[in-house]
Amino acid sequence: MNPLLRRTKIAGRRALRRTRLLRDNRATVMVEMAFCVPLLVLIGFGGIEISNLTLVNTRISQIGLNTADNAARIAYGSNLSLPRVREVDINDVFAGAEAQASGLSFKQNGRIILSSLEVNDDGGQTIKWQRCYGDLNINSSYGPQGTGATGSSFPGMGPSNNQVKAVSGTAIMFVEVTYRYQPVAYGNWLGPRTIRNEAAFNIREGRDLEGPDGGGVYNPSPSVTKSSCT
């Protein structure tokens, strides 16, 4: 074969191979995915974290509402003319809250503060008794048990523009729930987050509000451990 013709054929084959290579896009999707997958994973986990945070906020809100409601129902339907609130009843309310908080490790990372807002002898507002559940070291935003025992300087409980006040002969079960959020993936990105919620319900019927020694809560034999806030 003529050497010139042979060289021409070889050059033609090479040019044809280069043209095919330039047109070959079979690996394009793989290259694009290699760039996109890490970003999609970050966005996906971010969506999971935000969804979980929203869900936990909703659950904490429901825990506060149900705890206040259940505390307001203590001794409801009792045959006594003035039903008594017992320490065991309060502990049962907290047990219900813990069951509702299943999966949140609430006892280790949260606290429920249950206060009985009543009217004192001077016609002012007072926190007659207060009980707590959970290991989170936090105090009530409105003061400990006994706040407002005398006088009328204590304005009630709740936000300053929407405070609740008890009326004579009844009581308000006021609940403060605080929870230290446990992130799924982006703890450093979110930073420490504390979820807080408040709820209040008036008691369903008349109660013995004085209790032993004026404390409002009975602990008859066999007694149980009081859910103290200290």
| Confidence at residue 82, expressed as pLDDT on a 0 to 100 scale | 79
Q: How far apart are the first and last CA of the chain?
A: 104
| Confidence at residue 192, expressed as pLDDT on a 0 to 100 scale | 78
Residue 229 reports pLDDT greater than 70:
yes
Residue 7 reports pLDDT greater than 70:
no
Report DSSP state, residue 11.
H
Q: Regarding predicted confidence, which is higher, 105 or 188?
A: 105
- Residue 45 — very low, low, confident or very high, per pLDDT cuts 50/70/90? low
Question: Backbone dihedral region of 169: left (phi > 0), alpha (psi from -120 to 50 degrees) or beta?
Answer: left
108: Cβ–Cβ under 8 A, 6 or more apart, which residues? 135
Contact (CB, 8 A) for 188 and 156: no
Residue type at 192?
P
* Residues listed for the chain: 230
* Mean pLDDT along residues 1-9: 55
